[in-house]
């Protein structure tokens, strides 16, 4: 089964690339040499992804690694949209809406495709930098010593693309809310801690003016969980890895290890020692098996991981995979919120989704 799935995930992108490559070759109004150069550059851009995965970026100067990262992962999203554009054009041609000549050696057709791609991804990049504040007001029947304000984020994905400059802006944004606590639902690290260490990003986290608690995400594992765990400590972040902490004000935090760790503790084991009279907040990076939180008496589960698909129509696929792929959900007495994430992995594009941070008040 694993071999079959691996073959499927290899064949589908290759078929998609072949489809796009053929249409690019056909639509360009240039000679074969010029078309071969353009197509070759597109292939090289896409191959940067494989360089990132199989060779790695940590041995390169930071600026070079960032260029490889941005080009490689951006090309993945651009190829997706080229595939959709050419598929739509083919359908329009088949039903007689679009004349065939616009898809063959056409300057007009090439210009339209170029302008659409540039326009879509310029918008997507600008929209990514617009961080949306999501207010969440919760009322509890449990007695709290006083109302509590928290900023909750997920999926920061610091690395070669989300830099210390980005992090500094986010820290200022969080501090401006004057929260009592900051909670992070995993994936602080993207693929490697090396760029975080080079830029001393831990120093930016230490500027946060409230206690910070977090759980691990799958990308923290990709970077090597011992490396991620050490970075969390250096950054002054209290990591809850299958652990609980009583904040002393009527709230208990429960942090699950990421499900990447097949040996993580069952939630019922983590709940065995908590005070059920407290308001119980669960941090669990990946929003699978939401019924576990409801069954074990959790009041509020905060998750991330999905990014809400990052770009349309991937968010539609996410909705088919997860019970709650994005936003709020109520199951029984348990409130859930799955965040689309403050940061992002891959190309910095948000199309049909948003980057966000949650400001949660509980009283």
Please give the Cα distance from 75 to 70 (Å, whole number). 8
- 201: helix, strand or coil: coil
Q: Tell me which H or E stretch contains 195.
A: helix 194-198
Determine the pLDDT at residue 142.
Answer: 86
Determine the pLDDT at residue 282.
Answer: 98
Enumerate residues 6+ apart whose C-beta is below 8 A from 243.
Answer: 254, 255, 270
Give the chain's residues under pLDDT 50.
1-2, 5
Determine the pLDDT at residue 2.
Answer: 43
- 224: helix, strand or coil: coil
- 230: helix, strand or coil: helix
Written as one string, the DSSP assignment of 23-67 is HHHHH--S-HHHHHHHHHHHHHHHHHHHHHHHT-STTS-HHHHHH
Cβ atoms 57, 49 nearer than 8 A: no
Cβ atoms 238, 213 nearer than 8 A: yes
Q: What CATH code is assigned to 132-362?
A: 3.60.21.10
Residue count of the chain, please give it: 363
Please give the Cα distance from 306 to 285 (Å, whole number). 9
Nearest residue to 291 via CA among 322, 265, 260: 322
Please give the Cα distance from 324 to 322 (Å, whole number). 5
Nearest residue to 140 via CA among 357, 333, 337, 359: 333
Enumerate residues 6+ apart whose C-beta is below 8 A from 131.
Answer: 170, 173, 342, 355, 356, 357
Determine the pLDDT at residue 8.
Answer: 61
Between the alpha carbon of residue 41 and those of residues 25, 50, 77, 93, the distances in Å are 13, 15, 16, 28
Cβ atoms 164, 170 nearer than 8 A: no
Please give the Cα distance from 143 to 276 (Å, whole number). 11
Between β-strands 279-283 and 251-255, what pairing exists: parallel, antiparallel or unpaired? Answer: parallel
Beta bridge partners of 8: none
The side-by-side arrangement of strands in the sheet containing 243-246 is 243-246, 251-255, 279-283, 300-303, 334-338, 327-331
Determine the pLDDT at residue 7.
Answer: 56
Q: CA 329 from chain center: how many Å?
A: 20
Count Cβ atoms below 10 Å from residue 315 Cβ, excluding itself.
Answer: 19
Determine if the pTM surpasses 0.95.
no
> Where do the domains of the chain lie?
3-128, 132-362
């Amino acid at each position: 089964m694993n071999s079959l799935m691996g073959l499927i995930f290899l064949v589908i992108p290759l078929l998609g690339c072949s489809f796009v490559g053929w249409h690019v070759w056909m639509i360009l109004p240039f000679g074969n040499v010029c078309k071969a150069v353009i197509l070759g550059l597109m292939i090289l851009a896409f191959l940067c992804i494989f360089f990132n995965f199989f060779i790695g970026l940590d041995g390169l100067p930071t600026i070079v690694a960032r260029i490889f990262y941005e080009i490689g992962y951006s090309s993945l999203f651009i190829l997706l949209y080229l595939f959709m554009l050419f598929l739509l054009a083919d359908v329009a041609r088949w039903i007689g809406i679009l004349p065939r000549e616009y898809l063959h050696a056409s300057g007009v057709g090439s210009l339209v495709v170029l302008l659409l791609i540039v326009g879509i991804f310029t918008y997507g990049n600008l929209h990514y930098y617009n961080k949306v504040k999501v207010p969440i007001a919760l009322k509890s029947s449990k007695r709290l010593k006083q109302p509590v304000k928290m900023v909750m984020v997920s999926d920061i994905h610091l690395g070669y693309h989300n830099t210390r400059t980005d992090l500094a802006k986010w820290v200022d944004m969080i501090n401006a809310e004057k929260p009592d606590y900051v909670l992070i639902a995993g994936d602080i690290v993207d693929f490697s801690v090396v760029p975080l260490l080079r830029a001393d990003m831990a120093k930016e986290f230490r500027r946060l003016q409230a206690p910070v608690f977090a759980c691990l995400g799958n990308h923290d594992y990709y970077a090597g969980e011992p490396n991620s765990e050490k970075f969390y400590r250096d950054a002054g972040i209290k990591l809850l890895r299958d652990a609980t902490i009583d904040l002393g004000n009527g709230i208990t935090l429960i942090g699950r290890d990421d499900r990447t760790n097949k040996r993580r503790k069952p939630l019922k084991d983590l709940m065995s020692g908590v005070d059920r009279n407290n308001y119980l907040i669960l941090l669990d990076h990946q929003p699978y098996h939401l019924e576990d939180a409801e069954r074990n008496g959790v009041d509020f589960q905060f998750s991330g991981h999905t990014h809400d698909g990052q770009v349309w129509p991937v968010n539609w696929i996410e909705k088919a995979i997860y019970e709650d792929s994005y936003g709020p959900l109520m199951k029984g007495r348990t409130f859930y919120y799955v965040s689309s994430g403050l940061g992002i992995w891959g190309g910095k594009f948000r199309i049909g989704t948003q980057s966000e941070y949650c400001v949660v008040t509980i009283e």
